[in-house]
Amino acid sequence: MPNHSKCHKNKYCDDKSKRCHKKCESSSSSSSSSCSSSSSSCESTCSKTCEKKKCEKRCKPPKVVYQACINGGTAALTLTYVVSPTTFTCPTAIGQVVTITYTVTNTGTAAIKSPRYVYDSLTGVHKVGKCKLLPNQFDTFIVRYTITRCDCNTTNNISLVANAYTPLNCGKLILVSQPVSIVIQQTPPV
């Protein structure tokens, strides 16, 4: 549901509302017998008309980009990872912890001052850096995942997609890395 508190009222709505309310007043004073029913019906119509056009601007979702211009330079993120172990064997792997080490690198020419995050489809969103990230600098973050009985029951690999991102320009722009696909292979028992 949009947040109308940040929107400013549409001038059309204000003018239309005034005209509508004047019309309601004049119609209720001319016919005294149906005064209450026509007045409430008219008020309801006035409210519905203005509800539709309450906000001039709706909140727009941020634009998502792979490269952004910042202070005459460019900002870009690259996500790399290392998984350990890269395979698991069921049922002995139940309870085993898989470690994924993510590295987020600023591959652009400008510093990134906003916090960086990593999202992966297995464990969710993680904040990986909050200080300024200069060009060619990187943040590292470790995620741990415990292999479950469900992972073994599916007889499939554990697959996930991850990418790094950072909000820019007060959240109007989201700088993202190219997504990476990670597969932790299930090997048959020997």
β 68-70/73-75 pair status: antiparallel
Burial class, 113, CB count within 10 angstroms (exposed 0-12 / middle 13-18 / buried 19+): middle
Residue 182 or residue 131, greater confidence: 182
Lowest pLDDT segment from 17-21, 66-70, 139-143, 146-150: 17-21
Give residue 101's region: left, alpha or beta (phi > 0; psi -120 to 50): beta
pLDDT at 58: 55
Residue 149 or residue 38, greater confidence: 149
Is residue 7 very low, low, confident or very high in pLDDT (cuts 50, 70, 90)?
A: very low
**Same-domain status, 11 and 95:** no
Q: Report how far residue 143's alpha carbon sits from residue 82's, in angstroms, rounded to the nearest whole number.
A: 10
Rounded to an integer, the average pLDDT of 2-16 is 41
**Same-domain status, 126 and 100:** yes
Rounded to an integer, the average pLDDT of 74-101 is 93
pLDDT at 82: 96
Lowest pLDDT segment from 58-72, 92-106, 108-122, 152-166: 58-72
pLDDT at 52: 47
Residue 103, both tokens: 């590295």
**Same-domain status, 69 and 48:** no
Q: What is the domain-level CATH number for residue 78?
A: 2.60.40.1510
> What is the residue range of 38's domain?
4-52
pLDDT at 11: 44
**Same-domain status, 11 and 80:** no
Is residue 62 very low, low, confident or very high in pLDDT (cuts 50, 70, 90)?
A: confident
pLDDT digit string (tens) for 98-118?
999 999 999 999 999 889 999
Element (H, E) at 59: none
Q: Please check the confidence at residue 156 and state whether its pLDDT lies above 60.
A: yes
Rounded to an integer, the average pLDDT of 33-60 is 48
User: Does residue 67 form part of some domain?
Assistant: yes
β 87-89/180-187 pair status: parallel
Number of domains in the chain: 2
